[in-house]
Chains A and B, each alone.
Chain A
Amino acid sequence: MIKFFLMVNKQGQTRLSRYYEHMEIRKRTMLEAEVIKNCLSRSKDQCSFIEYKDFKLVYRQYAALFVVVGINETENEMAVYELIHNFVEVLDKYFSRVDCSHNVSSDNEEWNLIPAAQECTVKFTSIVFI
């Protein structure tokens, strides 16, 4: 199960967030701050999976932007790791070029629907975007 999907830049500003389980807003900000702190503390030669509380974080860095996915132990880390890349590839294809620091509240129906890795070769349906 994917619990949340985050895009955070190196300064710790959230660029996109989607939670598949309800969480209070206050807790969300705290979580995001801790997540990015965790990600920033990792070096390139360390693995892309972090244990965090009772779930795992899978992250990938694109320039100054971190894409972080929170999953529980039933999920396959590597599959999620590639899912992130697929997501970025699709963004790139749809908007011809993704400017990593400027991407906002995009919302993808496939992602909203099923908090588990799936069907991501299908195009994004609609994105509120600048």
Chain B
Amino acid sequence: MSDVVERTLSALPGLLGQPDPGAGAGGAAGPGRVSATSRLGSLISSITALTSKHEEEKLIQQELTSLKATVSAPTTTLRMMKECMVRLIYCEMLGYESSFGYIHAIKLAQQGNLLEKRVGYLAVSLFLHENHELLLLLVNTVVKDLQSTNLVEVCMALTIVSQIFPREMIPAVLPLIEDKLQHSKEIIRRKAVQALYKFYLIAPNQVQHIHDKFQKALCDRDVGVMAASLHIYLQMAKENAAGYKDLTGSFVTILKQVVGGKLPIDFNYHSVPAPWLQIQLLRILGLLGKDDPRTSELMYDVLDESLRRAEINHNITYAILFECVQTIYAIHPKSELLEKAAKCIGKFVLSSKINLKYLGLKALTYVIQQDPNLALQHQMTIIECLDHPDPIIKRETLELLYRITNGQNVIVIVQKMLDYLKQSKEEYTIISLVGKIAELAEKYAPDNEWFIQTMNAVFSVGGDVAYPDIPNNFLRLLAEGFDDGKEDEQLRLYAVQSYLALLEEEDAFYPQKFLQVMSWVLGEYSSLVTDVDPEIILTRLHRLLKKTFVTSETKAWIMAAVTKIASRTSCSKTVDKLIQEFSTSLDTCMRQYAFELKHLCEDKVLMRSLLPFDASCNDIVVDASLSFLDGFVAEGLGHGAAPYKPHHQRQEEKLSQEKALNFEPYGLSFASSMSPSGFAGRQSPTGLSFGSDTSGNSAETGHKETNSLKLDGVKKLWGKEGYLPKKENRTGKEGEPLTVPCSSSLLAGHVADPPVSHSDQVASLSEEEKEKQQLASTLFVGLGSNAGVSLMGKGDMATQKFRRKSKINETQNYEEASDIQNSTASSLVPLLDTLPSSKEGHERDEHTRLRKASLCSSDTWEDNSALGKPQSLKKPELDNKLSDSRLSSSSLFADSNIEIFHPSPSAQCESASKTLLTPSLPGELAELPHSEVVELCQSDDLALHLCKVWTNDSLLLIMFVSNKNTSALNAVNLMFEKAEHFQILESPAYHFAVIEAQSVEHCQQCVQMDKICTQGILSGSINYQSEMETRLEFSVILSLLDFIRPMEMTTEDFGKLWLSLSNDVKQNLKMSSSQDSFSAALNTLQQKLKLHIVDIIGNEGILACQLLPSVPCLLHCRIHAGMLALWFRSPCSALPDSLLYQCQKVMEES
């Protein structure tokens, strides 16, 4: 056995040094391996010899049967089991399930000697997945092996933990693994870091407290450990770049060392030092330096060096260069580097190596929005790639073109995309391409005809695979129209005509979605066409109904269209025929439609009022509270019927009746039984409650508040259901308008310098080349010289055409919006600093300066953007918001704007001594628990202070605005931005018409936590008119504890609730000396975390709290040998994790 152990050991670098490769393979042929080798070997060679899949299946089934017998036989030794496992792995790899062996794999890992254990662990990692129930059986083995004195066993345990480990068992091994971070062997340290990385991925909250240990790993003297920690940092930087900016220096130093060849030679790959490590570091730097000039400053040197060092011609250096280019364009721009990066991209794109060309195109796609010039430089190459024999290159080129589309080149680009679409068969490609074409068509369509034709092509190719959004958006666009009524009419008219033409062909096949679109449009708007007899339209629809390929869903659409058309004609033979035909249909739906149609046709007046023309956008008022049934209910109650009780109430009563026999497993579901009380609490008109928008809406639906009927339960239920969708609509509307100016400024970004004049172009061009030239000029038109600065407005007008009205966009594509927002923010910056890489530097400079001037002065900026502003925006507050957001992006380079984020401590002192205006809470609020008043920001004119007030059912932010001037301030607007984790009830903006000189005004906002996080930032701004419009930014840090309130309950309730909750988290905490007694520890939790102590029995205690508005979290703690065992339960899965983190912090502090 010893040789086996030695072999495994020899593989551990640093233990026995580098093994001779020959000896490694030779040593493997130990006695223990012979049988495994031969059995598995023969299996493999016999499978290889087979020719058909069928034979293979037969052989494997046979093998599996014999394996099944062997593994379950009691006489099988562990060594044989190991051999079986290897064969099982092989069978499963070929696609034959061998689940009977899973449990034996676990057993092998538990009981075997080193090599057997190794195979056992391997099999487990290959067979099971994260949520497999058998995985729990492995936890004990892992714990045992982690404590082993044998390094190999520890290694194996750490490895399996970093591969798969049940999330809920992390606390069981976490302390052990944390200890391993200090281990003397680097391989153990490295594996421990990797295990923690895994934990970070599956349960970030549980490893939050070891962040400083990660930092130690980053500074580890062993490169492997450092490299492993980079994975964690990359992940963390992705989620929150701001938190790790202070480490930029370290990352830069590491990269410098790597690039400078300071690492051991082992890490070289084809004489390039640790290339994958470099790539990792470059990615982290890109994340950290994004939009941050100061941090970016630190990395310019090292990026420059990386570019220089990577000049050897090898694939791996190209990979590094690619990453460099991405980083350079991601961070705050520096012209010198941008120039070099552009050169690099040029080299890639022009390369004859196909892989490199691909990489170049990808890089070009990435940078194109910031630097459209680059596309102009390479336009001929792009044209060539468009006709490349390799479809992948073509596809990538289209992606690039998609990014540079504007109102002028849209026709050519969309045509190219459609050509590609018609050739491609892969469903996924079609879906994504169809989405892009539809988006471009909607955004930039030059005229109605083209738009409808393009959409027809889109629907007929990708109708059935495309996202349902596309037809929905298209129909909505048609229905809601634009600002110009005449335009709308024409568009609809054209659509109807084109569909009628399409339906004329007898045997044409169209996707279902396309048919649905057609029938809807025909139903709604066919009466716009005056020269076609409705009878003809009806016949065509009727013909469709009889087609076999039409699904029943589509048939329903067609029937609806027929009904609508029928309402506008006096009488029709086709309709009568249709009714007759389908009244006896076997399809119940069709029969139903036919009967409805029949009855409606008998009463044309009713039919017309039911189906008014062009009213698809009008809101239909639905009485969601079902108040028209009140009379009926009252009558029922009068006759002695029992009042309605909602489901949970009935269950509750049932439970209380059976109290004596309650053995708990049928515990009531808490979430629902809690909600009424929480709900009522929010609605109660206390002095503090802000008629939140929810209750505002419920006034409309549940307007029977004061009704004397005993409908308590009913009302609440309906009220809740009724207003929910409304709320969603609202947020949609708020988000939408932002995208409008963004995309227009994006367009402005495209407007670029004149194109590079190709002086070296040969005068005599071949025919083919001429063609390409022509294509190039059409493709890159929007980016060229003829689209001068004046186009800023012009281009926008073109894009406005098919822009939907802002109010209609309820389901806006969030992703798209944020994408555009991001790109504007970044695309504006380089415009200024980029010195284009060209010989015509002079002219360029002038242009740049010109643009700089126009961008910096906020007046012109406003003017420019005013052109791009959609005219349909109605609400002034929205306009306000728009200009705000624009200002904030312009403030990146306009010096005149004051940017204050967090007040520095010194500023605070100053203000304390200077300001006479000390804000204080009004009487009724001052009695409530509240924080100190802190300053958020201030300028010469005003100061903004904040005080948090923790009421029982909400968190109130009291904002004090104090006017420091001797004259009154007018029109002060306070506005909160939308935050990811928080939601501001009521409106996020507050307007003070006037603030008198030397006085303090205050307003209050009620905040709720939407998504659970331990800490989050709510940012906002305040603007006011003094001599000029001034804007201050501020941010408020809110922690989870602001939203936690004690929850009072009895021990009995606690027990019931405990059993009904499913998400639990357990953790052991070491007690510090100051908390020697159990009750002291509990008191700390009570005071600091606002937990309510329900009961203490001996060395056990139970506590309860709730996250506002009403998510409970229960805590059971027990003291045991100096450790405090915490056990959380809650209906919300993220809450226990976050609370646990807070507990750890509190206990460490005290």
Contact = CB atoms under 8 A, between A and B. Distances in A.
Given A79-B316, A113-B194, A118-B231, A47 B355 contact: yes
Contacts of A104: 40, 44, 90
A117 to B, nearest CB: 4
B224 A122 contact: yes
A79 B319 contact: yes
B162 A113 contact: yes
Contacts of B243: none
A118 B24 contact: no
Interface string B247-263: 00000000000000000
A126 B11 contact: yes
Contacts of B275: 79, 82
A105 B89 contact: yes
B227 A119 contact: yes
A113 B163 contact: yes
A123 B280 contact: no
A49 B355 contact: yes
B428 A123 contact: no
A121 B277 CA distance: 11
Contact of B393 (A32, A47, A112): A47
Given A14-B93, A25-B92, A86-B269, A94 B280 contact: no
A29 B40 CA distance: 21
B11 A124 contact: yes
Interface in B2-26: 8, 11-13, 18-19, 21-22, 24-25
A46 to B, nearest CB: 4
Interface in A42-81: 45-54, 76-79, 81
Interface in A71-130: 76-79, 81-83, 86, 93-96, 101-102, 104-105, 107, 109, 112-114, 116-126, 128-130
A26 B95 contact: yes
A128 B122 contact: yes
Contacts of B323: 76, 79
A129 B95 contact: no
Given A81-B355, A95-B25, A126-B118, A121 B269 contact: yes
A123 B8 contact: no
Contacts of A123: 11, 13, 18-19
Contact of A54 (B22, B163, B428): B428
Nearest to A121: B267
Contacts of B359: 77-78
A102 B18 CA distance: 26
Contact of A78 (B89, B162, B197, B355): B355
A101 B276 contact: no
A96 B122 contact: no
Interface in A6-44: 13-14, 16-18, 22, 25-26, 28-29, 32
Contacts of A22: 129-130
Given A46-B390, A113-B194, A79 B358 contact: no
B305 to A, nearest CB: 19
Nearest to B190: A119
Contact of A76 (B47, B97, B319): B319
Contact of A118 (B18, B129, B276): B276
Nearest to A38: B426
Contacts of A16: 93
A124 B19 CA distance: 11
A112 B159 CA distance: 8
Nearest to B122: A107
Contact of B44 (A94, A102, A121, A124): A102
Interface in B89-130: 89-90, 92-97, 118-119, 122, 125-126, 129-130
A130 B41 contact: yes
Interface string B552-590: 000000000000000000000000000000000000000
A128 to B, nearest CB: 6
B807 interface: no
B1022 interface: no
B358 A49 contact: yes
A113 B130 CA distance: 14
Contacts of A76: 279, 319, 322-323
A122 B130 contact: no
A126 B269 CA distance: 21
Contacts of A101: 48
Contact of A129 (B12, B28, B266, B429): B28
A14 to B, nearest CB: 6
Q: How large is the interface on A (under 10, 10 to 19, 20 to 34, 35 or more residues)?
A: 35 or more
Contacts of B92: 25
A83 to B, nearest CB: 7
B318 A78 contact: yes
Nearest to A53: B428
A105 B126 CA distance: 10
Contacts of B11: 123-126
Given A46-B389, A49-B392, A120 B276 contact: yes
Contacts of B24: 94-95
Nearest to B191: A113
Given A46-B390, A118-B276, A112 B224 contact: no
Given A126-B118, A128-B86, A114 B392 contact: no
B536 interface: no
Contacts of B362: 77
Contacts of A82: 269, 275, 315-316, 319
Contacts of A94: 21, 24-25
A54 B318 CA distance: 25
A119 B48 contact: no
Contact of A128 (B12, B119, B268, B319): B119
Contact of A45 (B125, B279, B354): B354
A114 B235 CA distance: 13
A123 B194 CA distance: 17
B124 to A, nearest CB: 12
Nearest to B266: A121
Contacts of B269: 82, 86, 120-121
A130 B356 CA distance: 37
A122 B94 CA distance: 29
B194 A119 contact: no
B627 interface: no
Contacts of A45: 354, 390
Contact of B95 (A28, A52, A54, A121): A28
A105 B41 CA distance: 12
A116 B231 contact: yes
A122 B40 contact: no
Interface in B113-153: 118-119, 122, 125-126, 129-130
A113 B193 CA distance: 11
B542 interface: no
B357 interface: yes
B22 A47 contact: no
Contacts of B786: none
B101 to A, nearest CB: 13
B279 A117 contact: yes
B86 A105 contact: yes
Contacts of A125: 11-12
A93 B21 contact: yes
B1056 interface: no
A124 B355 CA distance: 28
8 contacts: A46-B390, A77-B355, A77-B359, A82-B275, A105-B90, A112-B125, A126-B118, A130-B41
Given A18-B126, A45-B354, A47-B390, 8 more contacts: A25-B97, A78-B322, A82-B316, A96-B25, A113-B163, A117-B279, A119-B277, A130-B40
Interface of B: 8, 11-13, 18-19, 21-22, 24-25, 28, 37, 40-41, 44, 47-48, 86, 89-90, 92-97, 118-119, 122, 125-126, 129-130, 159, 162-163, 191, 194, 197, 224, 227-228, 231, 266-269, 274-277, 279-280, 315-316, 318-320, 322-323, 354-359, 362, 389-390, 392-393, 395, 426, 428-429
User: 9 closest A-B pairs (Cβ-Cβ)?
Assistant: A29-B95, A22-B129, A78-B319, A79-B319, A47-B354, A46-B390, A117-B276, A82-B316, A53-B428
